[in-house]
Amino acid sequence: MPTPPAYAPGTTPAYALVATDLDGTLLRPDDTVSARSRAALALAAAAGARHLVVTGRPVPGIRALLADLAYSGLVVCGQGTQLYEAGAGGGGRLLRSVALDREAADTALGKIEAEIGAVFAAVDQDGVDGATLIEAGYRMPNPTLPAQRVDSRAALWERPVIKVLVRHPELGDDALAAAARGAVGDLATVTMAGPGTVELAPRGVDKGTGLALAAELLGIGAERTVAFGDMPNDLPMFAGSGHRVAMGNAHPELRAAADEVTLSNAEDGVAVVLERLFGAFPVRQPGTEVAPESSLV
């Protein structure tokens, strides 16, 4: 696909919705959003485009970040299980939530273990104040996100959950995801969301369904959506977008499905593309270099 043209001030931009994943995409490796990325998002907003965060993190794991960005409006959270409306000043409300049947989730874990041996599990609870619970042996892929350890697997199911996170002591992420899909069947949707992050969500729910709902509420069609991601869980989001941008650090599956590959999240790859699409260039600071434009697949 040809590179979309740059936006010319006074005209209508090609894209009205900028859908971004967080971890490995908009967020730098230190979990921050750079000044350059903030400026690029502001350029898109000035041209009339909306920013939509589409993340695997549940609502409690992003509220502080949204407040820091002064973000307001719709957010797709929890791999599409939650549609949240962020308000000014850090407030917000949950518009929609799809819980994972806990009996089905427990059965799914049992089926996975019957195929590949014992796994370590964690859950994200439902609701705006839901906790992340981890059983003994489970290590959080992102140590900056809070989690509570429980004494038994049964304790994971004491409250409604939106998804289950699974780790194996030996198998890599791709092998674990493939084994889980084969074992789980129609009990849940299996996805790989990042290093050390294989997840089970309600059947038929993913980032694509979350993006579609948000875009419908905003009145923006798929052809006017540009999406940024880095992991296989972003594939359904790509399917519902007019232009698909994989990060330079993206998983091979996502790179293969992308229209364009930009720089890595450590190099502000999202900003590189937004600066081109919305017709602006970064301000050069003494002693620094401006990152080159992204490459086409």
- Structure tokens of 152? 């038994």
- For the four alpha carbons of 250, 173, 52 and 70, in that order, the dihedral sign comes to negative
Residue 71 has pLDDT above 90, yes or no: yes
How confident is residue 289, by pLDDT bands cut at 50, 70 and 90? very low
Residue type for position 32: T
pLDDT (tens digit, 9 = 90+) per residue, 96-122?
999 999 999 999 999 999 999 999 999
Q: What is the pLDDT of residue 284?
A: 38
Average pLDDT, integer, range 246-262: 98
- Structure tokens of 137? 């042996």
Rounded distance, CA 164 to CA 145, Å?
Answer: 16
Query: For residue 33, what are the CA distances in angstroms to 20, 37, 103, 125?
Result: 12, 6, 38, 26
Reading across the β-sheet that carries 82-86, which strands appear in turn? 92-97, 82-86, 73-77, 50-54, 17-20, 225-229, 243-246, 260-261, 295-296
Q: Are 42 and 36 in contact (CB under 8 A)?
A: no
Q: What is the pLDDT of residue 111?
A: 97
Average pLDDT, integer, range 210-229: 97
Rounded distance, CA 98 to CA 84, Å?
Answer: 12
Between 22-31, 51-60, 81-90, 260-269, the lowest mean confidence (pLDDT) is in 81-90
What CATH code would you report for 102-201? 3.30.1240.10
Average pLDDT, integer, range 44-53: 96
Q: What is the pLDDT of residue 145?
A: 85
Question: For the chain, where do the domains classified as CATH 3.40.50.1000 start and end?
Answer: 17-97+206-296
Query: For residue 43, what are the CA distances in angstroms to 2, 174, 278?
Result: 22, 37, 7
Residue 287 has pLDDT above 80, yes or no: no
Spell out the SS3 assignment of 52-97: EEECCCCHHHCHHHHHHCCCCEEEEEHHHCEEEEECHHHCEEEEEE
What is the fold of 17-97+206-296? Answer: Rossmann fold (3.40.50)
How confident is residue 13, by pLDDT bands cut at 50, 70 and 90? confident
Spell out the SS3 assignment of 242-283: CEEEECCCCCHHHHHHCCEECCCHHHCHHHHHHHHHCCCCCC
